[in-house]
Structure 1
Amino acid sequence: MKVAIVGAGAIGAYVGAALHRAGADVHLIARGPHLAAMRQHGVRVHSPRGDWTARVHATDRPADVGPVDHVFLGLKAHSYAACGPLVEPLMHEETSVIAAQNGIPWWYFHRHGGPHDGQRLESVDPGGSVSAVLAPKRAIGCVVYAATELEGPGVVRHLEGTRFSIGEPDRSRSARCTEFSDAMVAGGLKCPVEPELRDDIWIKLLGNISFNPISALTRATMLQMCRHRSTRQVIELMMRETLAVAHALGCRPDISVERRLAGAERVGEHRTSTLQDLEKGKPLELDVLLAAVVELADITGVEVPTLRTVDAISDLLARGVAA
């Protein structure tokens, strides 16, 4: 099995190192000092499960890699429309794209079934620009429950979790999903193939849609947001509105608002990825987290006043960062 990791940052390099350990033919696509360090020393993983190093091929030239069986995307969702030059040399007719993104993916209604089958979401696929580069038929969904960070160039700190749930948009258990799952498991990770992966998407989104924008607006940690009574109430409203949209689309995420809040509080003084991006002056990945759910609310007729308010304010913040 030949795999290219496009955007081999903290998550991508961790996955690539695990697949390499399983015997897959892995190629990391990266750049800058991080690329140089991986070329010289390999991917060095520091983890509570034990430290290890994987001598994985790393390059900034996808054309030197050629067509692969699976492309694992570690890029932020707002980079997808422009990633054509990175992914096109890696594609053959059957190449799959496994996108490790938060939020609502561009393929959400591909082979969905029901009244919205095939519908495009403008917030995540503006003008079809993402689908033009990453054809929905190639997509395998992926929900990441692992937490990692780059401790330095070429050095991945694995904090917790090893689960990467994957699934086909049409809910089938395909050979390509099984192949990728088996390799991930052989590399020491959990990779269940979930027929109803959209339920997992909503479970993960329940926290991202609320804590991420609120943290960027307030500069607060998870613990601070959970323990500030009024902010906690706003987050609870956002979560309940999100669940209402999920239910209107036929999904039944198996988690309660109370359980999600309790889990977030246990995380402690953690700064969300959106807050970290804000502090670094990077674009904020809020369209797929928040704007997409507001668009889905419009499609389904669900009232989401709290989500609309936070979306309007956080969009102004995001535009200021991008300016």
Structure 2
Amino acid sequence: MRIAVLGAGAIGAYVGAALHRGGADVHLIARGAHLAALRQHGVRVRSPRGHFVAHAHATDDPRQVGPVDYVFLGLKAHQYAACGPLIEPLLGPDTAVIAAQNGIPWWYFHGLAGHPLEDRRIEAVDPGGAVSAVLPVRRAIGCVVYCSTEIEEPGVIRHLEGTRFSIGEPSGEISARCLAFSDAMVAGGLKCPVEPNLRDDIWIKLMGNVAFNPLSALTRATMVDMCGHPGARDLVAAMMRETVAVAAATGCHPSVSIERRIAGAARVGHHKTSTLQDLEAGKELELEAIIGAVVEIAALTGVPAPTLRNVYAAADLLARTVALAG
């Protein structure tokens, strides 16, 4: 099995290292000092589950790799539309693309036979069809990541917690291509259940991201800070209630209570969300997939979501202001 990891950052390099350890033919697409370290020393994983090194092939030129069976996409959702020149050399007739992204994916309404919004494009994550033109939905395998990693230094991945990568077809089919990829992940020491309805997993994770990520950027607060402030906690709960209502309008029912979701976030402690980390690093904020798409789906389904709309407006203004200043 040939697998390319496009965007071999903290999560991508960790997955690539595990797949390589399990016997897959892995090719890491990276750049800069991180790439140089991967080439010289391999992926050095430091984990409470045991340290290891994986000497997978690493390059900044996908043409050196050619068509593969799977592309594991480790890019941020807002980078998808521009990834055509990088991903095209990796695509053969049957190549599947496993998109490990936060929030609502561009394929969300694809394959929902009989649903009123079947095959409806979500502009927030697929503006004008720009993403689906580069990543045709027939290639898409969804992926919800329950894993925390960080790049400790170039080529060194610190695994903090979690090893589950839930995957699934947009149609809900338990496909041969999903089962084969799951087997490769398990061989590398990761959990990779194939879910018949991955959308429920998407909403469970999104319940937290939709609230904590934009609010952390607006307030510079950590997870425990937001959960411990009475007013902020109420705001988080309101955003989660609206998100659950939007999910229900699409036929999904996240199997976790709001209080349990908030309590779990509080246990994370003084952790900065990825959106806050991006803000502090001067990077583009990943807002559209995390909250913009939820606001759009609320409008499509007629669900009132005033809190989500207001927080999204404030976070979007912040993102635009930072972009202009940069």
Tell me the TM-score normalised to structure 2 length: 0.99
1:235 CA displacement: 0.4
Any idea what SS the aligned residue of 1:118 has?
coil
Per the alignment, residue 223 of structure 1 pairs with 224
| CA distance in 2: counterparts of 1:171 and 1:321, whole angstroms | 40
* CA deviation string 1:68-125 (max 9, x = no partner): 0000000000100000011000001100000110000000011112111100000000
Any idea what SS the aligned residue of 2:93 has?
coil
| CA distance in 2: counterparts of 1:262 and 1:194, whole angstroms | 25
Per the alignment, residue 163 of structure 1 pairs with 164
1:253 CA displacement: 1.1
| CA distance in 1: counterparts of 2:88 and 2:263, whole angstroms | 43
1:322 CA displacement: 2.2
| CA distance in 2: counterparts of 1:17 and 1:277, whole angstroms | 24
Any idea what SS the aligned residue of 1:20 has?
helix
| CA distance in 2: counterparts of 1:220 and 1:78, whole angstroms | 24
Per the alignment, residue 254 of structure 1 pairs with 255
1:304 CA displacement: 0.4
1:223 CA displacement: 0.4
| CA distance in 1: counterparts of 2:267 and 2:112, whole angstroms | 35
Amino acid at match of 1:101: Q
Per the alignment, residue 147 of structure 1 pairs with 148
- Following superposition of structure 1 onto structure 2, how do residues 140-219 of structure 1 map, counting pairs within 5 Å? 140-219=141-220
Per the alignment, residue 279 of structure 2 pairs with 278
Per the alignment, residue 45 of structure 1 pairs with 45
| CA distance in 1: counterparts of 2:299 and 2:263, whole angstroms | 30
Equivalent residues of 1:274, 1:285 under 8 A apart: yes
Answering whether residue 265 of structure 2 is matched by residue 268 of structure 1, we say: no
| CA distance in 2: counterparts of 1:161 and 1:322, whole angstroms | 33
Any idea what SS the aligned residue of 2:253 has?
coil
Any idea what SS the aligned residue of 1:223 has?
helix
* CA deviation string 1:250-300 (max 9, x = no partner): 001111100000000000000000000000000000000111000000010
Per the alignment, residue 111 of structure 2 pairs with 111
1:320 CA displacement: 1.6
Any idea what SS the aligned residue of 1:141 has?
strand
Per the alignment, residue 124 of structure 1 pairs with 125
| CA distance in 2: counterparts of 1:291 and 1:67, whole angstroms | 33
| CA distance in 1: counterparts of 2:97 and 2:210, whole angstroms | 24
Amino acid at match of 1:30: A
Amino acid at match of 1:24: A
Amino acid at match of 2:5: I
The root-mean-square deviation of aligned C-alpha atoms, in Å, is: 0.5
Per the alignment, residue 95 of structure 2 pairs with 95
Answering whether residue 18 of structure 2 is matched by residue 22 of structure 1, we say: no
Number of matched pairs: 323
| CA distance in 1: counterparts of 2:320 and 2:94, whole angstroms | 38
| CA distance in 1: counterparts of 2:21 and 2:4, whole angstroms | 15
Any idea what SS the aligned residue of 1:124 has?
coil
| CA distance in 2: counterparts of 1:321 and 1:50, whole angstroms | 40
Amino acid at match of 1:21: R
* CA deviation string 1:164-221 (max 9, x = no partner): 0000000000010000000000000000000010000000000000000000000000
| CA distance in 2: counterparts of 1:96 and 1:65, whole angstroms | 15
1:321 CA displacement: 2.3
For structure 2, list consecutive stretches of 5 or more residues without a partner in the other structure.
Answer: none
Any idea what SS the aligned residue of 1:172 has?
coil
Any idea what SS the aligned residue of 1:231 has?
helix
- Once the two structures are overlaid, the 10-residue window that deviates more, 37-46 or 312-321, is 312-321
| CA distance in 2: counterparts of 1:219 and 1:81, whole angstroms | 29
| CA distance in 1: counterparts of 2:50 and 2:132, whole angstroms | 39
Amino acid at match of 1:51: H
| CA distance in 2: counterparts of 1:58 and 1:123, whole angstroms | 32
Any idea what SS the aligned residue of 1:164 has?
strand
Tell me the TM-score normalised to structure 1 length: 1.00
Amino acid at match of 1:143: V
| CA distance in 2: counterparts of 1:320 and 1:209, whole angstroms | 21
Per the alignment, residue 300 of structure 1 pairs with 301
Equivalent residues of 1:282, 1:321 under 8 A apart: no
